[in-house]
Structure 1
């Protein structure tokens, strides 16, 4: 019975459409790439020379590689991890700045949406850029000893000095340094953000005042590493030690924070209207004074958001901005920060996954000369990354 019907089935329009589609399947595309953990983030890293010279074609490649947009929020069909700290792309290439060894461009990828955002920097992933440059032989290096590289972040135009040990011609991965939010220990990477103020706005206090008021909430807007704004958790009627899940589940906290963030973005000159404020900047953080349950080593507690999501640790650029704001009298951050700090080396932040110490140094004239943080990084994979055509 089936054999008699087969010729008519094969002649049907639906079968011809299926057969045509099957015969003309497009092969997957691929490019050389590496996958690195940097601090408490992960990203796919490309050598700029491997990408198309026409940058207009980058966005779609990055979406396909990372698996965005994914309405399920998991990015299972790509290398993203379903949250903002794991949905990132980095591009590294020859320096366009006379004081740099390499250029580094950061791209924040939307998870559920198709956003490809070049407007901000990622302090965590900077920790992986020096090791990538050494491992990929983009820069010269010694067989053993410390590497000392200057990285030009093209998103902000700022220089970051990266120092870390090498071994057998590659970035060392093993070491005794631990960071909260990452299991185990690894080699220490020192990152000095040189002259970090005014990364996007040209000045540390872009609104011209130490505090502004948005939706009735006192807010400090500051641009160090990335444009950021800070509010007191108490002014929003919530505890400063909420977990990321509790922030996410709160009925209106995220929308209130985003409203403040967007108004701050306009006040900082990042956009003309609140609807046009990028998702990645300004970043926003809720700060509070360490309570009885906080570690004795903490100077200030912060809960940060990145691309609309509660961060499970704290973005490094938010930490840099917070450390600088803690030294500005009258700022929202200074008002809730313990003084003197528990460690004279810097300000110790309490975040959702532990603690982080950040240093900020001002000159006698009041200029922020540099900010320093210590991280770890590790190469996880290198080879070719595949994606399918839409």
Structure 2
């Protein structure tokens, strides 16, 4: 039996996904609701990661700690092995998460009222973090055809002409599951160079590639050495470690890196905590077999969802190229977002995410997280069907 068939009870574990549904969906009681919304997995982390944390816990002194060279070497080796990307360890800066890293990058390289461009529908912090720093968000919708997305580079260029200071890339794309090609990334980088735009690449889903798809790091494409690129990576989506709070910024440009280091000093930011660094090193050193099995398991889950949901009148969903997130098109049902969300929650007892959470361009879609045991996916699909009967 696959280790990913094992069901882990996450209720009452301070799990945002399982224990915060009342607040998130404005419910009096969510005890009967199945959560398939926020992007973390219901799988136990690799045993080597748990053992590394336990080993560190055996030492009873939890004073100031630092990220050792062994941890950096594990990161470098992983990206060479999985993505043929050679990262100079001296270019790695640590942070407590990709979203906090995004906040630091925006604060460092832009000023109040500067324009920041994003391609929608897209991950909500791309809206929220810049807005909370009093930056102006400029959206440029991706082109959607039958639930699949691509760039309109002519439209993006017109957007950049408005004086955009920084662009946030999501690769692989959340929520649509698109893995951008090298050619697409090269066009994007060329535009950033032409208009002197910083490129912030959120690459947190890099390891979650579905069959035949290849992740291309933004920093490896033609022209990257002439662009102002900062890449954000992390093991947290890959190995279900979001609560560990660990991420890395890869910044080859010495001047950009010095500015980010100065920002960290200004905020008194320190290295990863003792448990996070142990988890990161163990995950990248020992997690490959676990990940390979995970990817096969997720693929089976996706195939099931595609088969079952596409049999429902008015519903369309394709297998994503990357991530474990399904972007479900319900426009054919004729239901409004309010109507389908009400049906899902009150009749199906199922919590998915409404598409407009990712911008107006997401209207007509739902995001479903299938990173859970197949039995849970089957339950979720049954609840979805019940909601639409």
More helix by share: 2
What's the TM-score, normalizing by structure 2? 0.23
What's the TM-score, normalizing by structure 1? 0.23
| Relative contact order, higher structure (CA 8 A, sep 6+) | 2
More strand by share: 1
Q: Determine which structure has more spread, i.e. the larger CA radius of gyration.
A: 1
